[in-house]
């Protein structure tokens, strides 16, 4: 009996010491519900010296289609794209270009041949390289997962919305515009 | 350790309570004492370990920060030597370390737009070619394998705003010979999206087809151009090439998407047997002028509608001068799968001093739809030149008359760069035997 009592008491003591300290329970109530996980949002980025802060979706499309050659500050537009196989590139082809990979290649090859498009987009191998290129080139525009954006580049609003707004449309795996 | 607090016989506390107190109290006290002792020992030893570790880490961080600062300073010095003072060193970020040097150079060249790096490879060459096997039911003609055109499309981004381009085409010459032709030779200056200037030899901005398809048959759905838009050396009746100045750009019009092209050039020669494209000398004082306006509205992706006006004065020998006016209008819809082209024009020749005007109307319509790698297509074309037209036959030795008829075919894209086409043409001619022709073409890009 004594042994049993001792064991029960010991168990109670152990449970008391193992209880988490008061106030450490994670409070989830009251936090706003987030529509998108940050790493799935595609942010449009430009060089920090670019005065453009907002683009309509149609303007964004024209820029990436090669129909815009100059920014308002006179710098030449340099469109950057990731290599095929990157999910970010798939989102751009699906939602911005509205083209397949083959149609995209044909569009720029024919555009440079007819003279409609002065320069094709620059293809870069990774998000890190793309971010560094946009940092260096005053006229560059590109895209990154929101989680890959840092202070070296500027995020542009699309139709007035930032990537963490509910109305923002560019998302990896989403329905798109 | 046992404490005899109360004697069992004399204690006023009930036996079970005494038992509990006697059993529990020493146990709890023992637990508390031991726990406190153990924790104290842990804190003592853990604290020593933590402090030493923290100090070591802090020292390491200081060393790394010093090394990073030295590296940054060295990179700044190297960049200043390599590229000149294009960026303020205070704004340098280590973010650019590790980018391929070519990428960095291109990015930084934006800050000094007129610099040219002589070591960069500026020349870009893309090629297009075609071979065919064809036959028709005209007497005296034999089915033949034909080498088509080899078109080297060469561009060079000379600087931020200047670009050079040329179409160097190897094509059929006299008989079975090849000849080379600089079909386009242009120096372009692009000031903005609203103004681009090109000087040299260009494709005249008449309508749609002459600008959309240039020389490559690989880009064309069908095996060849509509006969209205054949080139001069193929028996065409339009001034498809010109030498002069061409300005083009967008017209601020919002979602309407208006564009313009305005050109001034030598026009075409009007002496029989002479090269129609006047590359070096204009045979008369009159320059050709043409204007082309078109719209690409945002609301309907792929739609392009427009019209153009071309004006020149031809001076055939021993004949009155002829005012030449070409009016063209078109509406086209080109999307990933669907292509629908419609274009009509009239060539108006008005000999000076004569009351009569000779009008040659013509049009084509072409529709195709892609099903996987296959693209079947249909074209119908029409041109009707009067019998005594003063320019086509007398000057350029081209018999036009009335010719019209359908073409049906299918294009198969075997890969991104190779296409096979099979096409049947039926052409009705005024007071002549109809022509049926079959062609198999292999077109490619390289």
In sequence order, the 6+-apart residues with CB closer than 8 A to the CB of B122 are: B116, B156, B157, B158
CA dist., res. A29 & res. A132, Å (int): 39
Asked if B126 has any chain A CB less than 8 Å from its own CB, the reply is yes
Any idea of the CA torsion for B57, B59, B61, B62, to the nearest 10 degrees?
170
Q: Could A5 and B104 be called an inter-chain contact, meaning their C-beta atoms sit closer than 8 Å?
A: no
> Which DSSP letter does residue B312 get?
E
Chain A, chain B: beta-carbon pairs less than 8 Å apart:
91
A114 neighbourhood in chain B, CB within 8 Å: 211-212, 214
State residue B203's pLDDT score.
Answer: 96
Asked if B274 has any chain A CB less than 8 Å from its own CB, the reply is no
Are B339 and B368 in contact by the 8 Å Cβ rule? The answer is: yes
B195-203 and B241-251 beta bridge pairing = antiparallel
B27 neighbourhood in chain A, CB within 8 Å: 6, 9-10
Q: Could A109 and B126 be called an inter-chain contact, meaning their C-beta atoms sit closer than 8 Å?
A: yes
A75 neighbourhood in chain B, CB within 8 Å: 110
Rg (CA), chain B: 41
Question: Look-up: residue for tokens 């967008």?
Answer: B250
State residue B285's pLDDT score.
Answer: 87
The DSSP string of chain A is: -HHHHHHHHHHHHHHHHHSPPTT-S---TTSPPPSS-GGGBEEEEE-TT----EE-HHHHHHHHTT---B-TTSPBPEEEEEPTT-HHHHHIIIIII---HHHHHHHHHHHHHHTS-SSPPEEESSHHHHHHHHHH-TTEEEEEEGGG--TTSEEPEETTB-TTSTT---BTTS---
Any idea of the CA torsion for A122, A125, A127, A131, to the nearest 10 degrees?
-50
A140 neighbourhood in chain B, CB within 8 Å: 107
Asked if B180 has any chain A CB less than 8 Å from its own CB, the reply is no
Count of other CB atoms within 10 angstroms of residue B62: 10
Are B138 and B435 in contact by the 8 Å Cβ rule? The answer is: yes
Q: Which of A96, A115, A128, A141 to mutate to test the interface with B (most CBs of B within 10 A)?
A: A115
Q: Point out which residues pair with B327 in neighbouring strands.
A: B309, B346
Q: Could A10 and B31 be called an inter-chain contact, meaning their C-beta atoms sit closer than 8 Å?
A: yes
> Residues 336 to 365 of B: which have CB under 8 A from any A CB?
336
State residue B308's pLDDT score.
Answer: 98
Are B131 and B442 in contact by the 8 Å Cβ rule? The answer is: yes
Asked if B23 has any chain A CB less than 8 Å from its own CB, the reply is yes
Asked if B187 has any chain A CB less than 8 Å from its own CB, the reply is no
Dihedral sign for Cα B167, B172, B173, B178, please. positive
Q: Which of A98, A113, A141 to mutate to test the interface with B (most CBs of B within 10 A)?
A: A113
CA dist., res. B403 & res. B96, Å (int): 64
Q: What is the pTM (predicted TM-score) of this model? A: 0.74
Asked if B31 has any chain A CB less than 8 Å from its own CB, the reply is yes
- Arithmetic mean of pLDDT, A112-131: 90
Q: Could B99 and A129 be called an inter-chain contact, meaning their C-beta atoms sit closer than 8 Å?
A: yes
User: Domain A25-158 has what CATH class?
Assistant: alpha beta
Asked if B216 has any chain A CB less than 8 Å from its own CB, the reply is yes
CA dist., res. A114 & res. A106, Å (int): 12
Q: Hey, what long-range contacts does B246-250 have (CB within 8 A, 24 or more apart)?
A: B246/B197, B246/B198, B246/B199, B246/B202, B246/B205, B247/B195, B247/B196, B247/B197, B247/B198, B248/B196, B248/B198, B248/B205, B249/B192, B249/B193, B249/B194, B249/B195, B249/B196, B250/B193, B250/B194
For the cut 50, the answer to whether the pLDDT of residue A85 exceeds it is yes
Residue in chain B closest to A72 (alpha carbons) equals B192
A69 neighbourhood in chain B, CB within 8 Å: 190, 192-193
CA distance B117 to chain A (A): 16
Are B210 and B194 in contact by the 8 Å Cβ rule? The answer is: no
CA angle, B218 then B220 then B222, to 5°: 110
- Arithmetic mean of pLDDT, A122-151: 94
State residue A24's pLDDT score.
Answer: 36
Which of A14-28, A96-110, B92-106, B333-347 holds the top average pLDDT?
B333-347
Residue in chain B closest to A124 (alpha carbons) equals B103
Which of A78, A99, A138 is facing B336, going by the closest CB pair? A99
Q: Could A76 and B160 be called an inter-chain contact, meaning their C-beta atoms sit closer than 8 Å?
A: yes
Which of B24, B110, B216 is facing A137, going by the closest CB pair? B110
Label residues B131-169 b or e (16+ Cβ within 10 Å = b): ebebeeeeeeeeeeeeebbbbbbbbebeebbebbbbbbb
In tens digits, chain B (446 residues) has pLDDT values of 443 444 444 444 455 555 555 555 555 555 555 554 444 444 444 455 567 777 777 777 777 777 777 777 777 766 665 555 443 333 333 333 344 444 444 444 444 445 555 555 678 899 999 999 999 998 888 899 998 899 999 999 888 899 999 999 998 887 788 888 899 999 999 999 999 999 999 999 999 999 999 888 999 999 999 999 999 988 899 999 999 999 999 999 999 999 999 999 999 999 888 888 899 989 888 999 999 999 999 999 999 999 999 999 999 988 899 999 999 999 999 998 999 999 999 999 999 999 999 999 999 999 999 999 999 999 999 999 998 899 999 999 899 999 999 999 999 999 989 999 999 999 999 988 999 999 999 999 99
Reduce the DSSP state of residue B406 to 3 states and report it.
strand
Rg (CA), chain A: 25
Dihedral sign for Cα B209, B210, B212, B214, please. positive
CA dist., res. A78 & res. A68, Å (int): 10
Identify residues of A whose CB sits under 8 angstroms from chain B CBs.
2, 5-6, 9-10, 13, 17, 58, 67-70, 75-76, 78, 98-100, 102-103, 105, 109-110, 112-115, 118-119, 122, 124, 128-129, 131-133, 135-140, 150, 152
Q: Where are the domains of chain A?
A: 25-158
Structure token digits, residue B367: 């529709």
Structure token digits, residue B277: 């494209």
């Amino acid at each position: 009996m004594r042994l049993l009592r001792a064991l029960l008491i010991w168990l109670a003591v152990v449970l008391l010491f193992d209880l988490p300290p008061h106030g450490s329970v994670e409070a989830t109530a009251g936090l706003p519900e987030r529509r998108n996980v940050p790493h799935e949002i595609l942010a449009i980025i430009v060089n920090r010296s670019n005065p453009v802060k907002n683009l309509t979706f149609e303007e964004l499309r024209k820029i990436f289609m090669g129909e815009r050659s100059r920014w308002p500050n006179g710098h030449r537009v340099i469109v950057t794209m990731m290599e095929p196989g990157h999910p970010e590139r798939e989102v751009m082809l699906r939602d911005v270009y509205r083209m397949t990979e083959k149609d995209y290649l044909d569009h720029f090859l024919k555009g440079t041949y007819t003279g409609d498009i002065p320069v094709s987009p620059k293809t870069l191998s990774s998000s890190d390289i793309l971010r560094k290129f946009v940092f260096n080139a005053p006229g560059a525009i590109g895209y990154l997962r929101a989680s890959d954006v840092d202070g070296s580049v500027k995020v542009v609003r699309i139709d007035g919305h930032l990537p963490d707004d509910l109305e923002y449309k560019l998302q990896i795996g989403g329905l798109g515009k | 350790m046992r404490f005899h607090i109360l004697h069992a016989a004399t204690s006023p506390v009930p036996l079970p309570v005494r038992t509990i107190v006697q059993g529990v109290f020493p146990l709890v006290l023992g637990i508390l004492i031991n726990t406190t002792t153990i924790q104290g020992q842990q804190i003592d030893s853990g604290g020593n370990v933590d402090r030493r570790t923290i100090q070591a880490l802090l020292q390491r961080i200081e060393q790394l920060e010093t090394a990073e600062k030295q590296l940054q300073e060295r990179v700044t010095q190297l960049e200043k030597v390599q590229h000149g003072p294009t960026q303020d060193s205070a704004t340098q970020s280590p973010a650019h370390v590790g980018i391929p040097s070519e990428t960095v150079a291109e990015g930084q060249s934006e800050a000094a737009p007129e610099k040219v790096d002589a070591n960069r490879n500026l020349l870009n060459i893309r090629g297009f070619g075609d071979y065919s096997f064809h036959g028709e039911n005209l007497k005296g003609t034999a089915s033949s394998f034909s080498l088509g055109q080899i078109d080297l499309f060469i561009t060079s981004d000379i600087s931020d705003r200047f670009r050079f381009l040329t179409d160097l085409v190897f094509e059929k010459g006299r008989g079975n010979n090849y000849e080379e032709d600089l079909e386009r030779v242009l120096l372009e200056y692009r000031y903005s999206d609203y103004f681009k200037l090109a000087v040299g030899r260009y494709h005249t901005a008449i309508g749609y087809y002459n600008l959309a398809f240039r020389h490559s048959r690989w880009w064309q759905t069908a095996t060849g151009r509509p006969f209205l838009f054949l080139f001069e050396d193929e028996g065409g009746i339009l001034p498809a090439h010109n030498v002069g100045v061409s300005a083009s750009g967008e017209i601020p019009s919002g979602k309407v998407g208006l564009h313009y092209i305005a050109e001034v050039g030598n026009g075409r020669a009007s002496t029989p047997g002479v090269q129609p494209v006047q590359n070096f000398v204009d045979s008369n004082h009159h320059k050709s002028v043409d204007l082309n306006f078109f719209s690409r509205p945002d609301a309907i992706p792929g739609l392009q509608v427009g019209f153009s006006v071309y004006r020149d004065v031809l001076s055939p020998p021993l004949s009155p001068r002829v005012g030449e006016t070409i009016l063209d209008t078109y509406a086209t819809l080109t999307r990933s799968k669907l292509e629908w082209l419609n274009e009509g024009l009239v060539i108006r020749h008005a000999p000076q001093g004569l009351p009569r005007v000779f009008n040659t109307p013509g049009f084509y319509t072409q529709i195709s739809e892609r099903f996987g790698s296959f693209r079947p297509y249909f074209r119908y074309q029409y041109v009707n030149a009067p019998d005594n037209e003063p320019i086509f036959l007398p000057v350029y030795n081209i018999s036009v008359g009335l010719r019209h008829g359908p073409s049906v075919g299918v294009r198969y894209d075997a890969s991104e760069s190779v296409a096979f086409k099979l096409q049947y043409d039926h052409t009705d001619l005024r007071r002549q035997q109809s022509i049926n022709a079959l062609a198999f073409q292999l077109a490619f890009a390289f």
